[in-house]
């Protein structure tokens, strides 16, 4: 884990699980450089915006019964995936052959180990590696490194045979589908001694308690055979592993001896095309033999596997909310966010904030390549969170980054430090605001709720996916964050069922309910993204690789999977541009008498939200609008539409059939505009959706006294007043003074 001591965090950690009820345990895994002891305390995180022109960072210490200090150690992170497993005894082995199919996807000047026959510690044995595309053979534990006159082509499948004879090693490579065969032999003195001591096969790395010299590319059909001489010479299969079976699992069965399976480390990518892919089958479940490969990468990371530094049982009296463990050693500090859920028997508040943690995971450690310069200067000026994935790459990257070979990163984990999920984390050097997204920008909403005196509970996307609509059943109003982009079918169906059952949903962001993710209950810390056809994508999945490995379902846009965002929240992603915001104006429909309450205290002619800490305006960056063709309910009304978006804004690709030609009929407030919608269904269910990522950044303007704040408060109070609840034990503050004209 190479890094600069100046740039690398002096203390950092992560928590599992991400949320817990009172009485449940949270385990914090912390690395402290120099094995220095740490101090720790819990704080409630109210506002995570370091902008001196805004409310500022707000937190309050909460008593969790912690000790004064804790012993801590420096813990390493090892990137890269591999497959490791035990071999049958090779002590009487003669004329062994290890065969496999291989497709290298990266040419580099560092060793990429294809396979190693080794002992348990990786100190004895042999490894076959690629360096600059040329095969090398290495004897582990000794300075024996033989360069072979064999070159493997990038992005081409080759059949590789490594034959261990009495005195030499013969390697044959044959291009799949081609006539070219390369054969090279080399003499390695005394190789039988270390070979007899080998006990394990490691694919795509050397295993030394963690992967070393990781390979980038796909491997399939590894098989170990032994030639037997005598009156009737034949070949005995000692071990064979088929990658076509049990794709969601992290083990691969040995067909000859099931007790000697391979374990996959750091979750390499499965459900990928093998050498036999014909193009006739697109689903790995229907044609396993065409997907009998595993793609390994040198930056895969599914679990840091750090030891627990301190475990905290959430006290019984702690209210639901957004919290952080603030840890410090003499050289630095870190705040690890977590969520306290409502207690099992405690009364529920009427308002629920649904924290979009799946989206936080998709963007986790997003290296954008933009930190140096203006953004870094802004971070220093504001004393914002100092660490950025552009500089600190030790903890893996996001679903918006690519592997070293250029393929998209499909899997993301929360069992690692997530730099982008920290108070004060800045994304853009925003000239008109704070430049925050994700976790930090969602605190604009929770800070507003606290400033206005609205009590609320919190659950995460993961909790909703686990519990379904029952997790929402006790609440009168559910609020989303600023970009609830990534969802499972279970979370979307729960939100729809909640609203159809009479609940009120307030979607307070943009680009929501957009991408489908895969999950597996046996790996709850992971999400998977396959960027199938359509959508605004930073990379695209390969044709034939649109089905998730974690759950076997088709990936891509929810619009392509039968639940367009408009079916959930009335509006859906339609355009995006630079991180800048503009304003809304009221529609003629908004002046209907039954909607007058929404605009109480707002002058009819004033622009709504031409200010704010996110791009300088309430309507911006990524914006949504209604579309009846895609499922906007007929009970909602467009009450405001944005205008004045700059030249960087473009219509999303999936909206168009041809350039400028929309897929579907005309829209009442279409084009490059965000729509705010409001409506109450005949069953009492309600919708209020703002269709803009930057909306919540305007809430605190002028000490929370502005037309965006008023609009949201007016709607929230209406929803609470028409709620299903019969429990009045939790009351809300009186309406703040609302002047009859604008600011």
Residue 215 has pLDDT above 70, yes or no: yes
- Percent share of the chain, pLDDT over 90: 84
Tokens coding 13: 């950690």
State whether 282 and 140 are in the same domain: yes
| 530 falls within a domain | yes
| 684 falls within a domain | yes
| 740 falls within a domain | no
State whether 327 and 457 are in the same domain: no
Query: At residue 658, what are phi and psi to the nearest 5 degrees?
Result: -135, 160
Residue 193 has pLDDT above 80, yes or no: no
| Pairing of the two strands 486-487 and 515-516 | parallel
The predicted pLDDT at position 738 comes to: 36
- For 742, half-sphere exposure in the C-beta direction (CA atoms, 13 angstrom radius) is 9
| 313 falls within a domain | no
Give me the mean pLDDT over the 616-624 stretch. 98
Q: What CATH number is attached to the domain comprising 35?
A: 2.60.40
Residue of 191, 190, 202, 187 lying closest to 118 (CA atoms): 202
The predicted pLDDT at position 156 comes to: 95
| 312 falls within a domain | no
State whether 146 and 62 are in the same domain: no
Where in the sequence is the domain holding 674, given as residue range(s)? 340-721
| 743 falls within a domain | no
State whether 325 and 227 are in the same domain: no
pLDDT tens column, 516-533 = 999 999 999 999 999 998
Residue 647 has pLDDT above 80, yes or no: yes
State whether 705 and 569 are in the same domain: yes
Tokens coding 57: 């960072």
| 733 falls within a domain | no
State whether 274 and 346 are in the same domain: no
Mean pLDDT of the chain: 93
| 727 falls within a domain | no
State whether 332 and 351 are in the same domain: no
pTM as predicted: 0.95
State whether 52 and 192 are in the same domain: no
State whether 239 and 334 are in the same domain: no
User: Rounded to the nearest 10 degrees, how much is the dihedral formed by the CA atoms of 531, 532, 534, 538?
Assistant: 30
Domain boundary, last residue among 230, 263, 296: 296
Query: Is the bond into 479 cis (omega within 30 degrees of 0)?
Result: no
pLDDT tens column, 393-414 = 999 999 999 999 999 999 999 9
Residue 333 has pLDDT above 60, yes or no: yes
State whether 594 and 691 are in the same domain: yes
For 156, 285, 464, 553, the CA distances from 291, given in Å and listed in that order, are: 16, 9, 32, 15
Q: What CATH number is attached to the domain comprising 563?
A: 3.40.50.880
pLDDT tens column, 379-392 = 999 999 999 999 99
Q: How many domains in the chain? A: 3
Tokens coding 722: 């028409």
State whether 330 and 358 are in the same domain: no
Q: What CATH number is attached to the domain comprising 288?
A: 2.60.120.200
State whether 128 and 274 are in the same domain: yes
Residue 108 has pLDDT above 60, yes or no: yes
């Amino acid at each position: 884990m190479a890094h600069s001591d100046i740039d690398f965090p002096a203390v950092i950690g992560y928590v599992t699980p991400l949320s817990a009820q009172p009485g449940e345990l949270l385990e914090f895994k912390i690395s402290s450089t120099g094995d220095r002891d740490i101090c720790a305390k819990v704080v409630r995180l109210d506002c995570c915006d370091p902008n001196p022109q805004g409310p500022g960072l707000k937190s309050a210490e909460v008593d969790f019964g912690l000790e004064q200090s804790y012993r801590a150690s420096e813990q390493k992170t090892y990137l890269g995936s591999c497959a490791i497993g035990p071999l049958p005894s090779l002590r009487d082995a003669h004329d062994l052959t290890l065969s496999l199919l291989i497709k290298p996807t990266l040419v580099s000047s560092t060793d990429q180990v294809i396979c190693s026959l080794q002992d348990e510690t990786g100190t004895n044995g042999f490894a076959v590696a690629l360096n600059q595309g040329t095969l090398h053979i290495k004897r582990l534990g000794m300075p024996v490194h033989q360069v072979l006159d064999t070159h493997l082509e990038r992005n081409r499948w080759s059949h590789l045979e490594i034959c261990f004879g009495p005195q030499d090693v013969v390697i044959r490579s044959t291009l799949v589908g081609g006539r070219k065969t390369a054969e090279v032999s080399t003499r390695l003195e005394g190789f039988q001694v270390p070979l007899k001591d080998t006990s394990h096969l490691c694919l795509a790395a050397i295993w030394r308690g963690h992967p070393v010299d990781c390979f980038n590319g796909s491997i399939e059909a590894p098989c170990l055979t032994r030639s037997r001489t005598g009156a009737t010479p034949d070949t005995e299969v000692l071990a064979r592993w088929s990658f076509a079976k049990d794709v969601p699992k992290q083990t691969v069965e040995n067909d000859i001896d099931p007790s000697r399976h391979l374990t996959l480390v750091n979750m390499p990518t499965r459900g990928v095309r093998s050498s036999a892919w014909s193009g006739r089958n697109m689903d790995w479940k229907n044609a396993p033999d065409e997907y009998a490969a595993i793609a390994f990468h040198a930056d895969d990371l599914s679990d840091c596997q750090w030891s627990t530094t301190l475990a905290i049982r959430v006290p019984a009296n702690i209210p639901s909310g957004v919290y952080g463990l603030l840890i410090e050693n003499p050289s630095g500090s870190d705040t690890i966010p977590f969520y306290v859920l409502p207690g099992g028997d405690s009364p529920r508040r009427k308002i629920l904030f649904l924290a979009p943690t799946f989206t936080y995971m998709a963007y986790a450690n997003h290296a954008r390549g933009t930190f140096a310069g203006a953004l870094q200067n802004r971070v220093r000026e504001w004393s914002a969170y100092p660490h950025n994935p552009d500089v600190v790459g030790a903890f893996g990257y996001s679903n918006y980054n690519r592997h070293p070979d250029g393929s998209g990163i499909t899997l993301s984990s929360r069992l690692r430090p997530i730099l982008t999920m920290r108070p004060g984390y800045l994304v853009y050097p925003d000239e008109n605001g704070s430049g925050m997204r994700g976790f930090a920008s969602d605190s604009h909403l929770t800070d507003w709720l606290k400033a206005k005196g609205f009590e609320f509970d919190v659950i995460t996307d993961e909790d909703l996916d686990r519990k379904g609509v029952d997790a929402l059943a006790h609440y009168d109003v559910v609020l989303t964050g600023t970009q609830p982009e990534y969802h499972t079918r279970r979370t979307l169906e729960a939100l729809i069922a909640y609203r159809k059952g009479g609940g009120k949903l307030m979607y307070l962001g943009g680009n929501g309910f957009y991408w489908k993710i895969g999950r597996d209950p046996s790996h709850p810390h992971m999400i998977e993204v396959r960027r199938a056809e359509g959508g605004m994508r930073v990379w695209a999945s390969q044709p034939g690789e649109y089905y998730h490995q974690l759950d076997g379902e088709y990936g891509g846009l929810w619009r392509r999977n039968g639940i367009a965002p408009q079916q959930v929240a009335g509006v859906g992603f339609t355009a995006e541009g630079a991180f800048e915001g503009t304003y809304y104006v009221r529609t003629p429909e908004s002046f209907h008498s039954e909607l007058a309450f929404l605009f109480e205290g707002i002058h009819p002619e004033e622009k709504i939200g031409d200010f704010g800490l996110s791009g300088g305006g309430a309507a911006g960056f990524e914006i949504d609008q209604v579309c009846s063709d895609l499922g906007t309910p007929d009970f909602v009304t467009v009450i405001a539409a944005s205008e004045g978006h700059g030249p960087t804004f473009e219509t999303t690709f999936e909206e168009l059939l041809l350039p400028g030609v929309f897929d579907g009929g005309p829209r009442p407030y279409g084009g490059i505009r965000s729509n705010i919608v409001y409506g109450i269904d005949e069953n009492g269910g309600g919708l209020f959706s703002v269709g803009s990522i930057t909306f919540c950044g305007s809430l605190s303007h002028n000490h929370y006294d502005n037309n965006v704040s008023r609009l949201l408060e007016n709607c929230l109070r209406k929803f609470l007043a028409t709620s299903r609840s019969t429990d009045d034990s939790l009351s809300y503050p009186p309406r703040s003074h609302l002047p009859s004209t604008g600011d």
